[in-house]
A and B are shown apart, each in its own frame.
Chain A
């Protein structure tokens, strides 16, 4: 494989990794802070892309549709947390059943409304060109996705480490009970974080639409990769999600080219190696009850 082809695959992997990052970041922080394994997190991705498709079809344009889609998915997240998840905090088996069940229900709703044939989002105008990187030509939209992902990573890093809200979230991941004994209404924090994570997954869905298309089943594919990322990166940290997502994105993309039948096995192999060396993940701080 020539250097140019390799670079192209690496960039593709990076773009895919950024999409995964946006999902895994929310999943990881929800997992770390609330102790909830949200198996319906892939559903937010699915909802994001299909809702954007709906608005784009109504001539709202890509960017406005993206914004509306994020808002709708975040509201969906609030409803899910307030009406359903809140009842099963601390009950892991119930959470798994509930969120897994919800993902089936939403997948069926999507099939019912939009059918089963794969659809795709149009690349937004202005970005539907190829960028000349000097040594190679690469789709401008994918570069845009990589840039958005990196900017989000910086933004989330800043929020996590430099703001009071971020400190509150870290404190919540450390010791939830202590935080509430200091007068913090942890339920409100949970709802906000859940909505934020949902919105982020929705954003990933919209941005991923022109690259990966959309079909029922992409939600579970994305969810499995994201769970692997959370395990690799560690619970409750954006940084872990970012590094883990890049690793999985690049390995997945390169693997599909070099040895298609072993791709999934390779991703899990990375996870196993990380777990053997660092059982809490690369940046994890350890689980707590």
Chain B
């Protein structure tokens, strides 16, 4: 569904993504693991159009999307749950959910139509506190808001950047459950994580990244069995 082929992305003069190639099949959750500075967030930003790649191609449903402005990529059906959640502090919880643009073009019947009510059904706490400001929520609730906000664009594909960051273990488990629930609705997911166990629990396939490219690829079970990779690239 999403395919990166020989992608090179720079921040100024630093060469962050180096001939990065991988694929996320439709309806699957692929986890991207790696240490700080491995290029995980840059990968997400390259796909979302926030830091467009200098070379290589990114195709989504067979169509090239690299070079498109972020809003066009979002409207093609790619939702972003960014690192640090990036809730709009000046907006109420409800406004955080109603500001995103709806994808009106999509007519596919398989695609779940996310509405405010649907998001509130998935995260009842957001409805309870809908008139509070987004930043008055706890970390876990803010993560739910960030996910709900991305769902409001009616994506078929979700980019999730470190959803476990800064959350208590019991909340991280909930996040894992949410990811599985989203997958059941037919969403494809690229999950960037530092949390090894969350990633292995939620993903169908795991990619390990180091210095801007993929150094290992396999199933969660294979990774759990491979202590060398865990030790060398993940510091587990």
Contact = CB atoms under 8 A, between A and B. Distances in A.
Interface of A: 164, 167-168, 170-171, 173-175, 177-187, 285
B218 interface: no
A285 to B, nearest CB: 6
A185 B71 CA distance: 6
B74 A180 contact: yes
Contacts of A179: 88, 99
Given A177-B50, A177-B70, A182 B90 contact: no
B100 A184 contact: yes
Given A167-B95, A178-B82, A183 B71 contact: yes
Given A164-B98, A167-B98, A186-B71, A181 B88 contact: no
A171 B101 contact: no
Q: Is the interface of B mostly helix, strand, loop or mixed?
A: loop
Contacts of B73: 181
Contacts of B75: 183
Interface of B: 48-50, 69-71, 73-75, 80, 82, 86, 88-91, 95-96, 98-103, 149-150, 152-153
| Residue of A168, A170, A180, A285 contacting most chain B CB atoms (<10 Å) | A180
A183 B74 contact: yes
Contacts of B50: 177, 181
Contact of A170 (B48, B74, B90): B90
Given A177-B50, A181-B80, A285-B89, A164 B70 contact: no
Contacts of B96: 171
A174 B99 contact: no
Nearest to B152: A182
B57 to A, nearest CB: 20
20 contacts: A164-B98, A171-B90, A171-B96, A171-B99, A174-B89, A174-B90, A177-B70, A178-B80, A178-B88, A181-B70, A182-B74, A182-B80, A182-B99, A182-B150, A182-B153, A183-B71, A183-B75, A183-B100, A187-B69, A285-B90
A167 B71 contact: no
Contact of A184 (B89, B101, B103): B101
Contact of B101 (A167, A170, A178, A183): A183
A177 B86 CA distance: 10
Contacts of A164: 95, 98-99
Contacts of A171: 88, 90-91, 95-96, 99
A168 B73 CA distance: 19
Contact of B86 (A170, A178, A185, A187): A178
A186 B82 CA distance: 18
B71 A180 contact: yes
B83 to A, nearest CB: 11
Contacts of A184: 71, 99-101
B218 to A, nearest CB: 30
B99 A168 contact: yes
A173 B80 CA distance: 19
Contacts of B91: 167, 170-171, 174
A170 to B, nearest CB: 4
A125 B105 CA distance: 52
Contacts of B98: 164, 167
Contacts of A181: 48-50, 70-71, 73-74, 80, 82
Contacts of B101: 182-184
A183 B154 CA distance: 10
B204 to A, nearest CB: 25
B97 to A, nearest CB: 10
A186 B71 CA distance: 8
Contacts of A168: 99
Contacts of B86: 175, 178
A184 B89 CA distance: 18
B177 to A, nearest CB: 24
A187 B69 CA distance: 10
A164 B99 CA distance: 6
